[in-house]
Amino acid sequence: MSFFDHDEVVLLKEILRVLERIYRELRPQISGFRLYQILQGDCEMPINGVAAGGSGVFQIGLVPPNGVPLQSGPTVAVDDTNVTLGPVDGNLQFTASVAAGDTAAAFNVTVSGINGAGTTISHSFAVPILQPPPVQVTDFSLDQVS
């Protein structure tokens, strides 16, 4: 024996759908992205750059962080062919690897997605490319010249 009859269950389900719609409307939509660099100990830090020949891990943040979930994304793209981006994982993290010969000062990562209202949002972030320090003299050689 059921506590509610069929019509009451249908009505309760419809009330639940309406309340969910109201909740989605009251909750703010995601309107942008933030980007952090993950450093030692999994700490989110401001972007400090990636060394040529190395890689860095980045964390995407949603603005506002408690907004309605994205319909799709986020995805990442880069403007430098010497930089390879890994896929965005379930924690909204990805890796950027810079080729050793890249002499550019920076690369731009564009984060894109579609928010809960169906609006396409994107933001570009400049990431410095850190060049290796000059090779230091560590010894001497001696040549006879005459």
In a domain, 101, yes or no: yes
- DSSP secondary-structure letter at 47? -
Domain assignment of residue 12, yes or no: no
HSE value, Cβ hemisphere, 13 Å, CA-based, for 29: 12
Instruction: For 16-66, write each residue's pLDDT tens digit.
Output: 998 887 776 777 888 999 999 998 767 788 899 999 999 999 999 999 998
* Structural domain harbouring 34: 29-130
The distance of Cα 35 from the centroid of its chain, to the nearest Å, equals 6
CB 57 within 8 Å of CB 93: yes
Please indicate, yes or no, if residue 91 is contained in any of the structural domains: yes
CATH number of the domain that residue 43 is part of? 2.60.40.1080
pTM of structure: 0.75
58 occurs within a structural domain: yes
Q: What is the pLDDT of residue 6?
A: 81
Does residue 87 belong to any structural domain of this protein?
yes
Whole-angstrom distance, CA of residue 72 vs CA of residue 109: 18
Q: What is the pLDDT averaged over residues 109-132? A: 95
Residue 3 lies in a domain: no
Number of domain units in the chain: 1
